[in-house]
């Protein structure tokens, strides 16, 4: 019998991820803070639960993808939370990006109830969520990962068990370092090209096929030259992730100068009231500093 899925958090990422599970044949019970966000999925066959606790009662595998560490803690450990309804043998999969140490604490609390947890943050943005091609970085026990692999396969393509609880979250933080610094490198290349008066589309075509090629050059740069700053992943969420990155680095006694600079430039974007825009809006900080605007 297929696992009964509970899905909590139906935002830009969560809604298409849940839809892909339903397309794969899983029965899904859903909960989110604002019920209206669930209406489309309910019309497609999902079942509503009034709380995370009720979601857990009705599910074998409960997936959470919410904003930040306190949100996950509330959903799992809070009043009417998952932990109050979970049954022995059930699994919680948290696909949010949160603190690795908080993940470890929640996994321990769930184990006391006879349940398991996997931390499984994702990369690939809204396009990957819609297409079912997310990269999923998992922390937890091998046997639990093996059990949940078919669930992951309905949502992603690159699925890797990294290590024990918290390892998935730490890997996601490594991912966010690489992504944010690549975003900055892409933005600087565009600023240089704009200041020099180059044809932006020709420049992008020339460098994207070589060693400089990146997801950012292929996906974000074309949006920038069209002045399209609609979010796939919002600046304010990238900033939350970078705060986690820099906090984890501080705990380990590390300095991350590239990630720190990206964080400061995103701070300037947020200060300008652009925190709800996509992460390609990082270029706006450089535009304001340089007195040039990137466009096609």
Q: Phi and psi (nearest 5°) for 191?
A: -65, -45
CA nearest to 294, candidates 205, 140, 189:
189
Q: Which of 58, 172, 240, 284 is flagged as catalytic? A: 172
* Contact yes or no for 204/192 (Cβ under 8 A): no
User: 172 catalytic, yes or no?
Assistant: yes
Tokens 């990137």 identify what position? Answer: 294
What CA–CA distance (Å, rounded) separates 98 from 102? Answer: 8
How do 116-119 and 61-64 pair as beta strands?
A: unpaired
CA nearest to 126, candidates 29, 232, 17:
232
3-state helix, strand, coil in the chain (%, to 5): 55, 15, 30
Write out the H or E segment, with its range, that includes residue 220.
Answer: none
DSSP string, 40-73: HHHHTT-EE-SSHHHHHHT-SEEEE--SSHHHHH
* Contact yes or no for 239/285 (Cβ under 8 A): no
CA nearest to 143, candidates 170, 118, 109:
118
What CA–CA distance (Å, rounded) separates 201 from 221? Answer: 9
* Contact yes or no for 156/134 (Cβ under 8 A): yes
CA nearest to 155, candidates 41, 9, 13, 44:
13
Q: Hey, which residues are catalytic here?
A: 172
């Amino acid at each position: 019998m297929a696992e009964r899925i509970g899905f909590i958090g139906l935002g830009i990422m969560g809604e298409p991820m849940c839809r892909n599970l339903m397309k794969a044949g899983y029965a899904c019970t859903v909960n989110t803070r604002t019920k209206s966000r669930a209406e489309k999925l309910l019309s497609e066959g999902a079942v509503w639960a009034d709380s995370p606790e009720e979601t857990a009662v009705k599910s074998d595998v409960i997936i959470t993808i919410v904003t930040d560490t306190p949100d996950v803690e509330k959903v799992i450990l809070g009043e009417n939370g998952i932990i109050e309804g979970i049954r022995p043998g059930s699994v919680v999969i948290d696909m949010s990006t949160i603190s690795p140490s908080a993940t470890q604490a929640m996994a321990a609390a769930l184990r006391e109830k006879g349940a398991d947890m996997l931390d499984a943050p994702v990369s690939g943005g809204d396009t990957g969520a819609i297409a079912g091609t997310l990269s999923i970085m998992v922390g937890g026990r091998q046997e639990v990962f093996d059990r949940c692999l078919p669930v992951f396969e309905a949502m992603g393509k690159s699925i890797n068990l990294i290590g024990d609880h918290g390892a998935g979250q730490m890997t996601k933080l490594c991912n966010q370092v690489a992504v944010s610094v690549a975003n900055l490198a892409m933005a600087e290349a565009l600023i240089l090209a704009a200041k020099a008066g180059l044809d932006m589309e020709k420049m992008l075509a020339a460098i994207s096929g070589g060693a400089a090629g990146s997801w950012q050059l292929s996906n974000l740069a074309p949006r920038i030259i069209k002045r399209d700053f609609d979010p796939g992943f919002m600046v304010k969420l990238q900033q939350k992730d970078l705060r986690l990155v820099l906090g984890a680095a501080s705990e380990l006694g590390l300095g991350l100068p590239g990630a720190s600079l990206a964080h400061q430039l995103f701070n300037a974007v947020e200060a300008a009231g652009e925190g709800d825009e996509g992460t390609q809006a990082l270029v706006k900080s450089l535009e304001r500093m340089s007195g040039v605007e990137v466009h096609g």
